Structure 1
Amino acid sequence: MSPRRTLHLNTNISGLGRHPAAWRKAGNPRAITDLAHFTSIAQTAERGKLDAVFLSDMAALRGHATGTWQSLEPTVLLTALAGVTRSIGLIGTASTTFNDPYNLARRFASLDHLSGGRAAWNAVTTYDANAAANFSMPAPLDKEARYARAGEFVEVVQKLWDSWEDGALVADQASGQYADSARVHAIAHEGPYFQVHGPLNVPRSPQGRPVLVQAGGSPAGVALAARHADAVFTAQTTFGSAQAFYREIKAIAVEHGRQPDHLLILPGLYPVIGGTLEEARRHKAELDALLDRSAELAKFAGALGLASTDLELDAPLPYARIEKSQRTDVSHGFIRSTVLLAQSENLTVRELLDRNPGAHRMIVGTPETIADDIERWFVQRAADGFNLNADTFPAGLADFVDHGVPLLQRKGIFRRDYEGTTLREHYGLPRPQSRYADESASLMSSA
């Protein structure tokens, strides 16, 4: 019999909250650099038995007028959170465009050891010109080059994580043998972007390899995820398109010889919770009233590859203009999900701005309506779980943990307690063997 399928939930820690005005309601509006703030979020998520906390990242300063950006370096912050939690997974973002495989492999292997097997790397490519300017690059790499580099980058990192086999660290005090050299391997990688000898200077981590997450909805991103990722963070705003994406990416994973259940699909979800629908709407309206609408319109237009003058608040999106845009410094996954949402409900620009604006699906409602919606997407295989956003942190997450999680537990789709200690165990993923283990076994048998 197949094991029972279980819902998976992360919380996406977006500064002081997903809502751009969240900082104006915060008890400490300077908490973007306060460990106590992030500790409260992580411990609340752990109390709710969530799979993991997730940190996005940007390699340039943007959004600083709204208090919503990720300031602290993710692996540094997650290492601190490892010391104040026991079970929750720790997912950090790092770009393949502005990092080196050896240093990144070492950072995440270190985090996996220090957390007892709870680390994950969210691998992203970066197209931001401001970020490129911070890394001595006159312009961002084009999409083809970014994903070619990313594919090789991920391959090198996985080789480095495998360069120590299980059991290679012997530490036998009686014999004096510390490491079994036959089980520690140079990777001798020679490729168009990277030449890395190896091995890693960190022994094999508790999970074998940290969990690998990929975020992106473009064809190149889907191809990378289907080949390598353990989980995919994706923007899906309509039920039918989410089901189609779910089927498509799992089918591609099967073509690579993978088990479809070993690739988890986790769309973003943004619940705004109230005891009644009216209360939830009132809470959102109070935050919305604090927004600078012109700034939000400009930000939304830029994300679509347009100028704010291209958008009329009470008209539909200019679909033809969006389609003709030649901008490369935009997320085509975001554009696709936004257009699908707008077309499915015939939304105006003003109505889209009221919906996050289209980036991740927003539900304004009671714990019951939100839990029912999550159940529908999960049971009908539009998702294996969700990367949850909260309008304000930590209060919005606490509302979900205290009022939404018990409903999902009563539905029998979400855990009542952790059944393992590692993030791979939370996600129901197997622990991978080192790719070099067969090589060692062959050498031993020939000897």
Structure 2
Amino acid sequence: MAPPTRRSRQLKLGAVLMGVGGPGQHDTWRHPEIPGDASIDIRWYAARAQQAEAALFDLVFIVDSQFITPHSPPHYLNRLEPLTLLSALAVQTTHIGLVGTLTASYNSPFNLARRLASLDLISGGRAGWNVVATGDGGTAGNYGLDEHYDYATRYGRALEHVRVAQGLWDSYEDDAFPRDRGTGVFLDPAKQHRLDHRGEHFSVVGPLNISRSAQGQPVIFQAGDSEEGRDLGAAVGEGIFTHAATVEQGVAFARDVKARAAAKGRDPDHVLIFPGVSPVIADTDEEARDREEAARLGKDFAKTLAQFGRPFGWHDFSRYDLDAPFPELGDLGATSFRTRAEQIKALARENGYTLRQTVEHVTREQRSPFVGSPRTVADEIQRWFQAGALDGLNITVTVPSEFARFTDEVLPILRERGVVRSAYESTTLRGNLGLPVPRNRHTAARDAELVAR
């Protein structure tokens, strides 16, 4: 395939570190290369982050949730908290971005902004925040609440939460600390700013007691396919985590989110789309397809059925006849992962599927579109990239040797074609993603006032 026509545009890469296995990977922990405690072993995470950095990845991504059941994937059952983990990785890496999921539903803006700013300084400007409006309704009980927030409240809180955090990150202008030993001036008080925010969901005075990093502010990521999720991503997201089963779906999603961002006055080129994928790579296309099929057939259907209940608030589907029509569920899932729940209901209704057929269809949808020899996988990635279906890829990482097939066999092909970088451009996450450094709002306002005079 020909190299990209826009040579300045290159594929971005994220590594999703899943330890003993996330959704659909209930038996991954049994692989001999994976320690049984990988999800709580900092040595495993450090080795994978260094493996990704050696391959010039842009970021590692730590997913998170705070509600589990016995049916949750192994990685979810016992894993390290994102910011603690990423802070440890910050001192064992030099260039790769450090992105963690943190809920806007069950965190206070001041505390979260302070912790993220700390990671940003510890890492030299490599922090990123995946903003989520928590879907697992059971989380409410872990925070002393009787009921989970409804959909509108969750997304309203998320938008306001981000805006408050961004305001707090501008508490100090970049030259606020002269630290002049001769005059004894440590702080220029005119360069410290209170926020004095009072909104629908939060009231925060400020200022935040930590300065900006080399990249100005942590990079904002977001994942959500609902109307509310897409609008939130368009409003604040600089990286969008998503899933697409086909290149056509990917193109449609990317165009929609970028158009929404443009309508909000943002540069759509500063909204990067990162579908999550798990490539299957073998010496030949046939061998790769056989491996994928063997993995599918080897899955425990009971575990798959239990995981299927998550969008519906972990509803127990084992109570139904698998070969009867898909059950009537009413508004089940409305306060959980509503969009996904409604998509599944519509799929079953429009196709007349049984419960078993619905589960099997949903499982097939989640299969990787990147299966084959290294060259086949490279060709397909380039096809998606050039079509505009993605700006980057989030590669799920579990078995180290399987990840190595991607880094050592697929990436060199893409690198030769100019699709991926041959060296880091920056030591900050923004710099490597090609995103601008947000100017401190108070400095910008002062400069604008001087120009107007």
Quote the offset at 1:350 in angstroms: 6.3
Contact 1:273–1:366 (8 Å) recurs in 2 = yes
- Whole-Å separation in 2 of the counterparts to 1:267 and 1:178: 46
**Secondary structure in 1 matching 2:229:** helix
2:9 aligned with 1:5: yes
The offset of 1:340, in angstroms, is: 10
1:297-320: CA deviation from partner (whole Å, max 9, x where unpaired): 23224436762455747x9x95x9
Measured in 2, the distance between the counterparts of 1:134 and 1:406 equals: 46
Query: By how many angstroms is 1:431 displaced?
Result: 0.6
Classify 1:367/1:62 alpha carbon distance in 2 versus 1 (closer, same or farther; 3 Å).
farther
Any idea what SS the aligned residue of 1:152 has? helix
Q: CA RMSD in A?
A: 3.1
Q: Which residue of 2 aligns with 1:328?
A: 334
Name the structure 1 match of 2:27.
Answer: 21
User: Are the equivalent residues in 1 in contact too, given 2:11–2:392 (CA < 8 A)?
Assistant: yes
Deviation at 1:143, TM superposition (A): 0.3
Letter in 1 for 2:306: A
Between the aligned partners of 1:340 and 1:370, the Cα distance in structure 2 is 32
Aligned 8 A contact 2:219 2:430 in 1: yes
How much has 1:189 moved relative to structure 2?
0.4
Q: Which moved more, 1:161-170 or 1:100-109?
A: 161-170
Q: Residue 236 of structure 1 aligns to which amino acid in structure 2?
A: A
Aligned residue identity for 1:14: M
User: Residues of 2 paired with 1:193 and 1:225: CA distance?
Assistant: 19
1:393 aligns with 2:399: yes
Q: CA deviation at 1:17?
A: 3.4
Residue 159 of structure 1 is aligned with which of 167, 184, 188? 167
Structure 2: how far apart are the matches of 1:199 and 1:58?
29
CA gap 1:260/1:224 in 2 versus in 1, 3 angstroms: same
Q: What does the per-residue CA deviation read over 1:177-222, in whole Å, with 9 as the maximum and x for residues that have no partner?
A: 2122111110110112111111110111221010000111111111
In structure 1, the partner of 2:200 is 192
2:434 pairs with 1:418? no
- Residue 89 of structure 2 corresponds to 81
Where does residue 72 of structure 1 map in the other structure? 80
TM-score of the pair, normalised by structure 1: 0.89
- 1:233-288 Cα shifts (integer Å, max 9, x gaps): 01222222221111111111111111110010111112122122343345445655
- Counterpart of 2:278 in 1: which secondary structure? strand
Cα deviations by residue, 1:326-357 (Å, 9 ceiling, x for unpaired): 42244245457778999999999569649755
User: Which residue number corresponds to residue 134 of structure 2?
Assistant: 126
Aligned to 2:381: 374
Residues 337 and 265 of structure 1: CA distance in aligned 2, closer, same or farther (over 3 Å) = farther
Instruction: Name the % identity.
Output: 38
Q: Is the 8 A contact 2:21 2:75 kept in 1?
A: yes
The whole-number CA distance in structure 2 between the counterparts of 1:427 and 1:363 is: 23
Alignment of 1:229-378 (within 5 A): 229-284=237-292, 287-288=295-296, 291-303=299-311, 307-308=317-318, 312=322, 318=326, 325-334=331-340, 353=360, 358-359=365-366, 361-378=368-385
Partners of 2:445 and 2:116 lie apart in 1 by 25
Q: Is the CA contact (8 Å cut-off) linking 1:93 and 1:124 kept in structure 2?
A: yes
Cα deviation 1:163-188 (Å, max 9, x = unaligned): 11111122222222212211111011
Distance in 1, matches of 2:54 and 2:343, equals 32
Moved more, 110-119 or 159-168: 159-168
* CA distance, structure 1, for counterparts of residue 58 and residue 10 of structure 2: 11
Could you tell me how far apart the structure 2 residues matched to 1:166 and 1:419 are?
23
Distance 1:103 1:286 in 2: 46
- Confirm or deny: 8 A CA contact 2:149 2:335 kept in the other structure: no
Q: In structure 2, how many angstroms separate the alpha carbons of the residues matched to 1:85 and 1:284? A: 33
Structure 2 residue identity aligned to 1:21? D
SS in 2 for 1:379: helix
Does the residue aligned with 1:178 lie in a helix, a strand or coil?
A: coil
One-letter code aligned to 1:259: D
Given that 2:196 and 2:204 are in contact with CA atoms closer than 8 Å, whether structure 1 keeps it comes out as: yes
Q: 1:362 to 1:332 in 2, by over 3 A?
A: farther
With over 3 angstroms needed to count, the CA separation of the structure-2 counterparts of 1:370 and 1:197, relative to structure 1, is: same
Contact kept? 1:355, 1:362, Cα under 8 Å: no
- Matched residue type, 2:219: V
Larger mean Cα displacement after TM superposition, 234-243 or 87-96: 234-243
The residue that corresponds to 1:433 in the other structure is 439
C-alpha contact (below 8 Å) 2:240/2:273 kept by paired residues: yes
Offset at residue 229 of structure 1 (A): 1.2
In structure 1, the gaps of 5 or more residues are none
Does structure 2 retain, via aligned residues, the 8 Å contact 1:17–1:393? no
Question: Relative to 1, partners in 2 of residues 1:271 and 1:352: Cα closer, same or farther, differing over 3 Å?
Answer: farther
Cα distance, 1:387 vs. partner? 1.2
Gaps of 5+ in 2: none
Contact 1:301 1:308 in 2 (8 A): no
- Structure-to-structure mapping, 1:106-117, within 5 angstroms: 106-117=114-125
Q: Which amino acid aligns with 1:403?
A: E
Structure 1 pair 196/262, CA: closer, same or farther in 2 (3 Å)? same
Q: Is the 8 A contact 2:246 2:369 kept in 1?
A: no
Give the match's secondary structure for 2:231: helix
Q: Report the number of matched residues.
A: 442
Contact 2:305 2:359 in 1 (8 A): no
Which residue of 2 is the match for residue 144 of structure 1? 152
Q: CA deviation at 1:161?
A: 0.7
Task: Tell me whether 406-415 or 110-119 shows the greater mean CA deviation.
Answer: 406-415
Counterpart amino acid of residue 215 in structure 1: A
Does the aligned pair in 2 maintain the 1:132–1:140 contact within 8 Å?
A: yes
Secondary structure of residue in 2 paired with 1:389: strand
Asked if structure 1 preserves the Cα contact closer than 8 Å seen for 2:11 and 2:391, the reply is: yes
Instruction: Tell me the TM-score normalised to structure 2 length.
Output: 0.88
Greater CA drift, 250-259 or 335-344? 335-344
Distance 1:143 1:386, change over 3 A: same
Give the counterpart letter for 1:22 in structure 2: T
In 2, Cα distance between the equivalents of 1:258 and 1:367? 37
CA distance in structure 1 between the aligned counterparts of 2:183 and 2:352, rounded to whole angstroms: 73
The question of 1:383 aligning with 2:390 is answered: yes
Secondary structure of residue in 2 paired with 1:201: coil
Quickly say closer, same or farther: Cα 1:423–1:168, change in 2 above 3 A.
same
State the alpha-carbon separation in 1 of the partners of residues 51 and 37 from structure 2: 20
Q: Matched residues in 2 for 1:288 and 1:142: separation?
A: 35
Q: Is the 8 A contact 1:356 1:362 kept in 2?
A: no
Q: Secondary structure at the match of 2:274?
A: strand
From the superposition, tell whether residues 17 and 436 of structure 1 become closer, same or farther in structure 2 (CA, over 3 Å): same
